[in-house]
Structure 1
Amino acid sequence: MLLVYIINILLLFVLGWLLYKQNWAQNLKPYLLPALALKLVCGVLLGVLYFHYYGAGDTITYFNASQKLTQLAHENTGAYWRLLLFNEFPSESFKESVPFTRFAYFSNSFFLLKIISLFNLLTGSSYYLIGCYFSLFSFWGMAKLAAILAQGFPDTRKAAIVALLFFPSVAFWSSGLLKDAVLMGSMCWVMAFVLQLAHGKKPTIVTWLLLPLQLYLFVKIKIFFAALLLGLLACYLILGWLSRTIKPLQTIKGQLLALVGFIVVAGAIVWQINGIFSLAFITEQLVKTYNGMLALSLSGPHLSYSSLEPTIASIVANAPKALFSAIYRPIIGESSEPLYLLLGLENLLLFLLTTIALMSAFSKSWVQHIKLWHVVLLLFIVVSAIVIGISTPNFGTLSRYRIIFLPFLVYLLLQNRFAQRWLAWLH
């Protein structure tokens, strides 16, 4: 087992060194290595939190369940690979013994079990080594996005670094053996790719080859958020290309009008379709998820709605509360638990940053610096926050789920003259 640890630590070191030597990584120095160290430490601390404080949780469930798949790999290699590639279970009893297999083709949790089982074979089923690999993957995507933002929007370099690599809950919950690490790594990598294309940078051949894998991981882990973000990114990319030849689209007003047109068309299409992307299905799933989690959250502080129905009207009526809660709750004083106190302090910081940003918004110079990219991020933040706030009453889970939009919110909140002066002190 000692040899397995040595080999994997060396492999992690090599992967980290390769990442450090990437051309885009030069934009993050001298912050790259401290951020990477923080990410790996957070991955370990996440395991400590769940194993030694909570005693249960998603990460433990995923790891323990993956052992059944790994055992199958040792006992019947052919059956294991058929399960991995085609979801063919060796027996009905085996299927029943593994969680998340009821809808195996669609379950992102079962998909994660298969990934973890592969890493079990590599690491000798070492939870913390696997957590380090997941943390490194997450860091790869998030660091690359921070670097590409620094290239495309040089004035926001430090804001991108703080928001994506050092903001406390973002760094913590996007690390370790969780779906969120895979989600953030793949999502941010795809965003970085689109920004490169939109700003006239030519991705390398290796980048093009990696694109299908990153897209697959992003869509597989969070299909609804992937559909939302990929749609917005497609609009940004198309408008960027069109603005090179169509003069009215070279102004922010023209770009915003075109974006509104894209959204209206997309909304009309969604209104007409049936299936998993229909509005009726989406609203039904939001309320169903909320009710299921609410039953498990009543013993502690939680988010509740007086009347929540699976209708567009009800979702819209509750949207302001969901938006506010997803960003600023729990508030200090809602619970005396240490984790909630820490979350309350972070949310207080977010509230202060929001207040400062709104004060700065009265400046005409701030308005003149608005770019289409900022609007795209804002739309993603608002819709994501409403969806997560509606469906997630548990504050602990809410703090984890919201990292899909939180770094972009922090990034935008740091785009004002007051925050820029503070960031200028960082070296």
Structure 2
Amino acid sequence: MELKDLFLTPLYLGIFYGIAFAVRKRFTNPLTRKYFIPALSVKFLGAIGLGLIYQFYYGGGDTFNYFSHVKVIYRAFGDSFSTGVKLLLGKHPADADMLRYTGQMYWYDAPTEYFVAQVASVFALIGFGSYTVIALGFAFLSFCGMWAMYVTFLRIYPLAYKKLAIAVFFLPSVFFWGSGLMKDSLCIGALGWTFYGFYHALILKKNIPTAVVLGTLGAYILLSVKVYILLSFLPAALLWVFNENNQRIKSAALRMLLKPLFLLLGAGAGYLGATGLTAGDEKYDVEKLGERARINQQYLTTYAANGSTYNIGEFDGSLSSTLKVAPQAIIVSIFRPFLFEVRNPVMLLSALEASLFIWLTVSLFYKTGLGKGFALILGTPILLFCFLFAIIFAIGVGINSGNFGTLVRYKIPLMPFYLAALYIMQAKAQPKRRVVAKPQLNSARKFSRLATTE
């Protein structure tokens, strides 16, 4: 961060807040309006905090590596506008005018990393090359996607609107790691748009043009930056679509008869979608994921510092090996680090969140009973989707990480979905109580109308 950040940050904070206040009425309702500005504020806090932590605690890191690329592109615009445009668009192969700049960017030929630098460069051009302005831009962009995620959850189950706000916006790890100049900020926002698009276009069948645009944009960003998030999302989402349509069949007998078919179609469509997206990709081809996960796990475990490594057992990249370590991977991704494993402040934050997940999970299944709890999940499509996505994703990141330092960042996409599912399940499992006061909120139908923003 530089001296100009001190002057530009308050100015651009004012601009972003001005935009937020201007559009708040359009994108909120009586239930959600009070969360709009606080949710945006914690994103801004996370973006600035992440930059400060990387600068003064870690002494560097990915966020400043991205920024070094942005500075090269920004400088190119000052030297030659046409060359700057070619760098911004990632022209390949680089021509003679570009070589003096591409030689300074070791990620120019790394599409996923350079995509982040390209997006950041857009904010740099409107923010005078300021790191903090770029970080605030990423936070604002991420917030837009996460608000779409929240609106979608609210459409499905408006009665849990308070706790859903906590699940989506106010988990410290999510708003800290998912707000600054990082891949994670783009991805969690894109996941929100993809979630919105799937639900509104394929299940609710309303606002279809907007849903298609946002869903396609979100999927494109995930495909460009972290395709494994999309690979985890697709099977669960397609199964969700089939389950929702299955539940709309009026005949109970026909519904039960067709449910296995819907399950098979959902799983098959998810697999075909995953393999089609990654076919031939050197890094993410489904056929190579196991082997790459093994190599990545060994590397991160070997070179991790500060005693933050974990061991989920022997893993050789095969399907049988994946199934063997899957339970440990799920536990480590969702319920660890435990409090006694904490070695630094970042791990403490993650451990406190993991403790919350443990307490909510155990207490919920204790109160409902395992049988009733699983029956509720299997009988509620949104719960099955959330838990299935969280489990698939947890297996992937739990195997790949090898240490808690990287895991705390990798796992943030699953956290809002897992916690939202717990809160929805908690609300649905509670015995119905008669409410005397506030009769306008007694009816779930009236409550649902209040929750509608479209």
**Counterpart residue number, 1:152:** 156
- How is 1:236-315 mapped onto 2 (pairs within 5 angstroms)? 236-241=240-245, 244=248, 247=251, 254-255=258-259, 258-264=262-268, 266-267=270-271, 275-276=280-281, 278-315=285-322
Which ranges of structure 1 fall in alignment gaps of 5 or more residues? none
Residue 31 of structure 2 corresponds to residue 22 of structure 1: no
**C-alpha distance in structure 2 between counterparts of 1:238 and 1:14, whole Å:** 41
Q: Is the 8 A contact 1:190 1:215 kept in 2?
A: yes
Residue by residue, what CA displacement relative to the aligned partner does 1:212-257 show, whole Å, maximum 9, x if unpaired?
A: 4333212212112213313432443355456546745985885465
**Counterpart residue number, 2:80:** 76
- How is 1:184-195 mapped onto 2 (pairs within 5 angstroms)? 184-195=188-199
Residue 365 of structure 2 corresponds to residue 358 of structure 1: yes
Cα RMSD over matched residues?
Answer: 3.1
Which ranges of structure 2 fall in alignment gaps of 5 or more residues? 434-454
Q: Is the 8 A contact 1:16 1:136 kept in 2?
A: no
CA change 1:251–1:87 in 2 (3 A) is same
TM-superposed deviation, 1:136: 1.4
CA change 1:182–1:27 in 2 (3 A) is farther
**C-alpha distance in structure 2 between counterparts of 1:181 and 1:17, whole Å:** 22
Residue 387 of structure 2 corresponds to residue 383 of structure 1: no
**Counterpart residue number, 2:380:** 371
- How is 1:127-206 mapped onto 2 (pairs within 5 angstroms)? 127-200=131-204, 202-203=206-207
| SS state at 1:333 partner | helix
TM-superposed deviation, 1:31: 2.1
TM-superposed deviation, 1:297: 0.4
How many residues align? The count is 419
**Counterpart residue number, 1:122:** 126
**C-alpha distance in structure 2 between counterparts of 1:299 and 1:5, whole Å:** 33
**C-alpha distance in structure 2 between counterparts of 1:381 and 1:354, whole Å:** 13
CA change 1:85–1:13 in 2 (3 A) is same
| SS state at 2:164 partner | helix
Q: Is the 8 A contact 2:198 2:211 kept in 1?
A: no
TM-superposed deviation, 1:387: 0.5
Residue by residue, what CA displacement relative to the aligned partner does 1:182-202 show, whole Å, maximum 9, x if unpaired?
A: 111111122122222345352
Q: Is the 8 A contact 2:242 2:266 kept in 1?
A: no
TM-superposed deviation, 1:283: 0.7
CA change 1:346–1:246 in 2 (3 A) is same
Residue by residue, what CA displacement relative to the aligned partner does 1:50-91 show, whole Å, maximum 9, x if unpaired?
A: 111111221121112221111112112212212222423345
CA change 1:280–1:148 in 2 (3 A) is closer
CA change 1:86–1:297 in 2 (3 A) is closer
TM-score (norm 1): 0.87
Given candidates 311, 318, 326, the residue that maps to 2:325 is 318
Q: Is the 8 A contact 2:145 2:189 kept in 1?
A: yes
**Counterpart residue number, 2:337:** 330
Q: Is the 8 A contact 2:190 2:222 kept in 1?
A: yes
**C-alpha distance in structure 2 between counterparts of 1:231 and 1:306, whole Å:** 26
| SS state at 1:30 partner | helix
> How many percent identity over aligned positions?
23
CA change 1:364–1:156 in 2 (3 A) is farther
Residue by residue, what CA displacement relative to the aligned partner does 1:348-381 show, whole Å, maximum 9, x if unpaired?
A: 1211111112213418775457411211121111
Residue 356 of structure 2 corresponds to residue 349 of structure 1: yes
Residue by residue, what CA displacement relative to the aligned partner does 1:8-63 show, whole Å, maximum 9, x if unpaired?
A: 34431232124412244554132222222222112211111111111122112111
CA change 1:119–1:265 in 2 (3 A) is closer
Higher relative contact order (CA 8 A, sep 6+): 2
CA change 1:123–1:316 in 2 (3 A) is same
CA change 1:401–1:363 in 2 (3 A) is closer
TM-score (norm 2): 0.82
| SS state at 2:103 partner | helix
**C-alpha distance in structure 1 between counterparts of 2:64 and 2:186, whole Å:** 16
CA change 1:211–1:191 in 2 (3 A) is closer
- How is 1:30-49 mapped onto 2 (pairs within 5 angstroms)? 30-49=34-53
**Counterpart residue number, 2:411:** 402
TM-superposed deviation, 1:403: 0.6
Residue by residue, what CA displacement relative to the aligned partner does 1:147-190 show, whole Å, maximum 9, x if unpaired?
A: 22112212332232110011221222211211111111111122
**C-alpha distance in structure 1 between counterparts of 2:254 and 2:65, whole Å:** 51
